[in-house]
A = this chain, B = another copy of it.
Amino acid sequence: MSSAQSIQFQVAANEGSARTGLLHTRRGPIETPVFMPVGTAGSVKGIRFEELQAPDLDARIILGNTYHLWLRPGIDVIKACGGLHKFIGWDRAMLTDSGGFQVWSLTEIRKVTEEGTEFRSHIDGALKFLSPEISMEVQSVLDAEIAMAFDECPAGQIEHDAARQSMELTLRWAKRSKEAHVAQAVSLRNAMEPMQADSLHYNQALFGIIQGGAHVDLRRESLQRTVEIGFDGYALGGLSVGEEKPVMLDIIEDIAPLMPSDKARYLMGVGTPEDLIESVARGVDMFDCVLPTRNGRNGQAFTSRGKVNIKNARFATDTRPLDEQCSCAVCRRHARAFIRHLYLAGEMLASILLTHHNLAFFLDTMRRVRQAIRSGQFAKFRREFTEQLSSGLE
């Protein structure tokens, strides 16, 4: 059985390289371009699922981190609770990453071998081992709509030779990821009663990941050979990991339009509102990033006029909402002065409110992007949005 039926992507409108479409998953359709809030350890930090589903946010898909969930609470617990959706109480779509990026960014890696990666857990220092097969097994238990192939994520400034070596390893791991994923699907299907065979469980999509560092020739080769293996969608990995921003945008501009146009294109771990707009303009459909949540917890608000730090003394008695153009629940109710006070007083509610507003801003921006592409106004939107972002909050 191929997993080709597990997800479908249809482009509804194009404007230049930018496109808007529908990603059909077993848990409902998702309009693209889409931003996926990051639910690291089964929680999008600082926000309740009810709020993620409320009309002002309306997140259709969130990301779960395989690495974090595998280490804690562990797959036995999640399996016993019926998979990640049931465990956390979220019935919309999810995507799980492969764990490769967290191993690279969070742990002391002991050894990368052909077989996989040996590392020490960032929680308790325990020696752990992750491979394509183990990642696929864990992601099968998590049972998100979309799983990611297990890759090696090299540093942003990696030299050509090392980048090729890493890319070749990622390609071999991609093949093993695909094989393990197909075998799991067959085995799951065979284990099911005929009546269950149409159920959600076996029907998980798998995305391949394009690597190659900042080297366009390697990126093109990685793309071609990843497509040859064949996945339900394709991701650009290893960007926004230390390279200069123009380098990132150049690679996206070169590679994204070459990615299969009938499959979703996912730019992993990116980025700022500017990054999202510029990447959409280059043909990207999906994004995830911790910026709105992490920066919210650190007192930073994203607004239509750029980022502001709520600690700033000029907000001490400012009764205006965070963003006067925003209609999220936080901006409808609370003043800058109050959120500043909460932040300075160390109140958890500061993080909660800033996280909510920031996610609302990211998700609403994507809604406006989709609308602009549909109506052929994306070039104008991009120009005005970018101009306003740099104008500064009054």
Binding site for B on A (CB under 8 A): 41-43, 45-50, 68, 72-73, 76-77, 80-82, 86-89, 316-317, 319, 329, 333-335, 337-338, 341-342, 344-345, 347-349, 351-353
Contact = CB atoms under 8 A, between A and B. Distances in A.
A337 B87 contact: yes
B338 A42 contact: yes
Given A77-B316, A348-B348, A87 B335 contact: yes
A82 B335 CA distance: 11
Given A43-B349, A316-B77, A89 B341 contact: no
A335 B45 contact: no
Nearest to A80: B317
Given A81-B317, A347-B41, A341 B86 contact: no
B77 A45 contact: no
A333 B49 contact: yes
A338 B45 contact: no
Which 9 pairs across A and B sit closest by C-beta, in order of nearness?
A80-B317, A43-B349, A73-B341, A89-B333, A43-B347, A41-B345, A89-B334, A46-B348, A81-B337
A350 to B, nearest CB: 8
A54 to B, nearest CB: 9
A46 B319 contact: no
A77 B334 contact: no
Contact of A338 (B81, B341, B342): B81
12 contacts: A41-B347, A42-B347, A46-B348, A46-B349, A47-B349, A72-B344, A81-B335, A86-B319, A89-B335, A89-B338, A348-B348, A348-B352
A316 B79 CA distance: 12
State the copy count for this chain: 2
Contacts of A344: 72-73
A338 B49 contact: no
Given A81-B319, A86-B319, A319-B81, A342 B42 contact: yes
Contacts of A316: 73, 77
Given A50-B329, A72-B341, A89-B333, A348 B81 contact: no
A42 to B, nearest CB: 6
Nearest to A318: B81
A10 B48 CA distance: 39
Contacts of A45: 347-349
A317 B74 CA distance: 11
Contacts of A42: 338, 341-342, 345, 347
A316 B80 CA distance: 9
Contact of A351 (B87, B329, B334, B348): B348
Nearest to A349: B43
A58 B334 CA distance: 19
Contacts of A43: 342, 345, 347-349
A130 to B, nearest CB: 19
A329 B48 CA distance: 11
A317 B81 CA distance: 6
A347 B46 CA distance: 8
Contacts of A77: 316-317, 337, 341
A349 B48 contact: yes
A88 B87 CA distance: 34
A94 B49 CA distance: 29
Contacts of A345: 41-43, 68, 72-73
